[in-house]
Amino acid sequence: MSEITTNVKRILSGLPIGVELVAAAKGRHVEAIKEAIEAGITNIGENYIQEAEDAFQSIGRRVKWHLIGHLQKNKIKKAVGLFDMVQTVDSIVVARELDARCKQAGKSMPVLIEVNSGREPAKSGVLPENVESLVREIATLHNINIQGLMTMGPVVDNAEKIKPFFVLTRRIYEALQTLGLQEVEMKYLSMGMSDSYKIAVSEGANIVRIGREIFGQ
């Protein structure tokens, strides 16, 4: 068994029922991605449109494709054709353009709202106190469906230090669940990567985005 296959099987067997694994494939060769799929991966996460296009040409719809990197407005048309979910919506401008492109394509796109839980100026995502107002605005659009929240959290030297940011995001998620907004279904909480996914799951994540632990350095 190859290292990738071993890693996928180990991670999948350790995840609780109901937690989805997205293989974060940034910078990975198509053959490595295919190997992960053969081992049981059903969701591929891509950060960049060009990399996603290249992989998609070889792999197609065998898996679900998640955009887990920042979505630039000028790349939205391509994103609509490629992805099954966009996890990084963080502004009404992006949401409106995504909605318009989905309407043109006759498609409804599930999206997650990216929360900048660490309030980092260099990172994308909506600030915690602005999440509800953005959700209410996006809920008026008809061709994208809010299905939850996503956060990265800051880079820390000890995975335990990221826990407060996951707790904060989960609390926002739970508060949104109580609002009963139409066009909003809070069912996914995407948190945690290779170093932090076990902590994220313990704090309520039901999507984890793992790259290095699957594919190696």
CATH of the domain at 31: 3.20.20.10
pLDDT value at 139 more than 90: yes
Tokens for 57?
Answer: 């040409």
DSSP string covering 61-80, please?
GGSEEEE-S---GGGHHHHH
pLDDT value at 53 more than 90: yes
pLDDT band at residue 7 under the 50/70/90 scheme: very high
pLDDT value at 217 more than 90: no
For the chain, how many structural domains are there in total?
Answer: 1
Supply the pLDDT for residue 120: 95
pLDDT in tens, 175-207: 999 998 888 999 999 999 999 999 999 999 999
Whether 108 and 150 have beta carbons less than 8 Å apart is answered as no
| Structural domain harbouring 98 | 3-215
Instruction: Calculate the CA dihedral of residues 167, 172, 177, 180 and round it to 10 degrees.
Output: 170
Q: Tokens 């945690």 map to which residue?
A: 192
Supply the pLDDT for residue 161: 93
Supply the pLDDT for residue 158: 87
